[in-house]
Amino acid sequence: MTAQAISLRPAVSGPVQPRFSFAKVASIVGAALLALLWLVPLLWALDTSLKPEPETTRTPITWFPVDPTSAAYRSVLDQGSILRWFLNSTIVAVLVTALTLLVSVLAAYGFSRTTFPGRKVLFGLLVAGILVPPQVLIVPLFAEMTTLRLVDTYWGVVLPQVVAPVMVFVLKKFFDGVPRDYEDAARVDGATRLRIVWSVMVPMSRPILGAVAIFTFIGAWNNFLWPFIVTTDPSMMTIPVGLANVQGSYGLRYAQIMASAVLGGLPLLIIYGLFQRHVIRGVGDAGVKG
Amino acid sequence: MAVQTSPRTPTGTRRTSTGSPRTPTGQPWTEKWGGLLFVAPFLVLFGFFLLWPTLSGLWNSFFNKSLAGVGGEFLGLANWREVFHDPAVWSSLKNTLVFTAMSTPPLVLTALVMALLANRTGVFGWFLRFAYFAPFVLPATVVTLIWVWIYQPGFGLVNGLLTSAGFAEIDWLNTENRAMLAVVITTVWWTVGFNFLLYLAALQGIPEHLYEAAAIDGAGDRQQLFRITLPLLSRTTGLIVVLQLVASLKIFDQIYLMTVGGPNFSTRPIIQYIYESGFTSYRIGYASAISYLFFVVIVIVSIAQFKLFSGRKEDLR
* DSSP conformation letters of B49-112: IIIHHHHHHHHHTTEE--SS-SS-EE-TTHHHHHHHH-HHHHHHHHHHHHHHHHHHHHHHHHHH
Fold of B78-316: MetI-like fold (1.10.3720)
> Which residue among A124, A163, A280 sits closest to B50, beta carbon to beta carbon?
A163
Contact list in A for residue B145 (CB cut-off 8 A) is 45, 243, 246-247, 257-258, 260-261, 264
The whole-angstrom distance between B243's CA and the closest CA on chain A is: 10
The Cα A240–Cα B141 span in angstroms is 5
State pLDDT tens for residues B99-113.
999 999 999 999 999
The Cα A250–Cα A245 span in angstroms is 9
Helix ranges, chain B (H):
28-46, 52-60, 78-85, 87-121, 125-133, 140-150, 157-164, 176-203, 208-216, 221-224, 230-232, 234-249, 253-258, 270-279, 284-316
Q: A265 vs B160, which has greater pLDDT?
A: A265
Strand partners, A262: none
* Predicted pLDDT at B6: 40
> Which residue among B32, B53, B129 sits closest to A140, beta carbon to beta carbon?
B53
Position B316 confidence tier, pLDDT thresholds 50, 70, 90:
very low
The count of C-alpha atoms lying within 13 angstroms of the C-alpha of B106, restricted to the half-sphere facing its C-beta, is 16
Contact list in B for residue A284 (CB cut-off 8 A) is 197-198, 200-201
Residue A144 falls inside a structural domain: yes
| Closest to B230 (Cα-Cα) out of B308, B311, B316 | B316
Residue of B16, B31, B39 for testing the chain A interface, max A β-carbons within 10 Å:
B39
| Closest to A73 (Cα-Cα) out of A196, A256, A282 | A256
Contact B41 A107 (CB under 8 A): yes
Of A64-73, A214-223, B191-200, minimum mean pLDDT range: A64-73
* Chain A, nearest residue to B201 by Cα: A284
* Chain A, nearest residue to B28 by Cα: A116
Q: What would the mean pLDDT of B289-317 be, rounded to a whole number?
A: 75
Q: Which residues have CB under 8 Å from A129's CB, separation 6+? A: A163, A165, B3, B46, B50, B51
Contact list in B for residue A42 (CB cut-off 8 A) is 134-135, 146
Contacts 24+ apart (CB under 8 A), A33-38: A34/B113, A34/B114, A34/B117, A34/B131, A34/B132, A35/B124, A35/B127, A35/B128, A35/B131, A35/B132, A36/B131, A38/B131, A38/B132, A38/B134, A38/B135, A38/B189
Of B26-30, B73-77, B272-276, minimum mean pLDDT range: B26-30
Q: What would the mean pLDDT of A184-207 be, rounded to a whole number?
A: 88
Position A287 confidence tier, pLDDT thresholds 50, 70, 90:
low
Position A18 confidence tier, pLDDT thresholds 50, 70, 90:
low
Residue A195 is which amino acid? R
Contact A137 B37 (CB under 8 A): no
Q: Phi and psi for B13 in degrees, rounded to 5? A: -80, 100
Tell whether the model's pLDDT for residue A110 goes beyond 90: yes
The DSSP code sequence of A121-144 is: HHHHHHHHHHTS-GGGGHHHHHHH
* Predicted pLDDT at A23: 77
Tell whether the model's pLDDT for residue B122 goes beyond 80: no
The Cα A125–Cα A112 span in angstroms is 15
Does residue B145 contact residue A72 with C-beta atoms inside 8 Å? Answer: no
Complex prediction ipTM:
0.87
Helix ranges, chain A (H):
22-49, 53-56, 71-78, 81-113, 119-130, 138-147, 154-162, 165-176, 180-188, 193-196, 202-204, 206-222, 225-230, 239-250, 254-274, 276-289
Residue A215 falls inside a structural domain: yes
| Closest to A120 (Cα-Cα) out of A179, A128, A131 | A128
The Cα A289–Cα B7 span in angstroms is 29
Tell whether the model's pLDDT for residue A271 goes beyond 70: yes
Residue A267 falls inside a structural domain: yes
CATH number at residue A94: 1.10.3720.10
Containing structural domain, residue A150: 71-289
Q: B12 vs B240, which has greater pLDDT?
A: B240
To the question of pTM greater than 0.90 for the whole model, the response is: no
The Cα A181–Cα B42 span in angstroms is 27
Does residue A222 contact residue A240 with C-beta atoms inside 8 Å? Answer: yes
Measure the CA angle with vertex B153, ends B151 and B156; round to 5°.
50
Q: What would the mean pLDDT of B151-167 be, rounded to a whole number?
A: 82
* Predicted pLDDT at A34: 93
| Closest to A226 (Cα-Cα) out of A165, A283, A155, A168 | A155
Position B51 confidence tier, pLDDT thresholds 50, 70, 90:
very high
Contact list in B for residue A48 (CB cut-off 8 A) is 149
* Chain A, nearest residue to B303 by Cα: A131
Q: What would the mean pLDDT of B265-275 be, rounded to a whole number?
A: 95
> Which residue among B15, B138, B206 sits closest to A11, beta carbon to beta carbon?
B206
Of A78-92, B159-173, B226-240, B288-302, minimum mean pLDDT range: B159-173
* Predicted pLDDT at B70: 61
Q: What would the mean pLDDT of B167-178 be, rounded to a whole number?
A: 86
The helix-helix angle for A138-147 and B52-60 (nearest 10°) equals 100
Position A22 confidence tier, pLDDT thresholds 50, 70, 90:
confident
Q: Phi and psi for A151 in degrees, rounded to 5? A: -65, 140
Does residue B297 contact residue B249 with C-beta atoms inside 8 Å? Answer: yes
Contact A31 B124 (CB under 8 A): yes
State pLDDT tens for residues A121-168.
999 999 999 889 999 999 999 999 999 999 999 999 999 999 999 999
State pLDDT tens for residues A237-259.
999 999 987 766 666 688 888 99
The whole-angstrom distance between B49's CA and the closest CA on chain A is: 5
Residue A23 falls inside a structural domain: no
For chain B, give the number of residues: 317
The whole-angstrom distance between B177's CA and the closest CA on chain A is: 23
* Chain A, nearest residue to B160 by Cα: A61
Residue A230 falls inside a structural domain: yes
Sign, CA torsion B90/B96/B102/B105:
negative
Q: How many domains does chain A have?
A: 1
The mean of the pLDDT values for chain A is 86
Contact list in A for residue B12 (CB cut-off 8 A) is 117
Contact list in B for residue A122 (CB cut-off 8 A) is 7, 39, 43
The mean of the pLDDT values for chain B is 84
Contact A45 B149 (CB under 8 A): yes
Contact B134 A118 (CB under 8 A): no
Does A273 contact B at CB distance below 8 Å?
A: yes
Q: Where are the domains of chain B?
A: 78-316
> Which residue among B21, B200, B206 sits closest to A188, beta carbon to beta carbon?
B21
* Chain B, nearest residue to A89 by Cα: B139
> Which residue among B54, B116, B199 sits closest to A137, beta carbon to beta carbon?
B54
Position A26 confidence tier, pLDDT thresholds 50, 70, 90:
confident
Residue of B8, B83, B146, B250 for testing the chain A interface, max A β-carbons within 10 Å:
B146
Tell whether the model's pLDDT for residue A43 goes beyond 80: yes
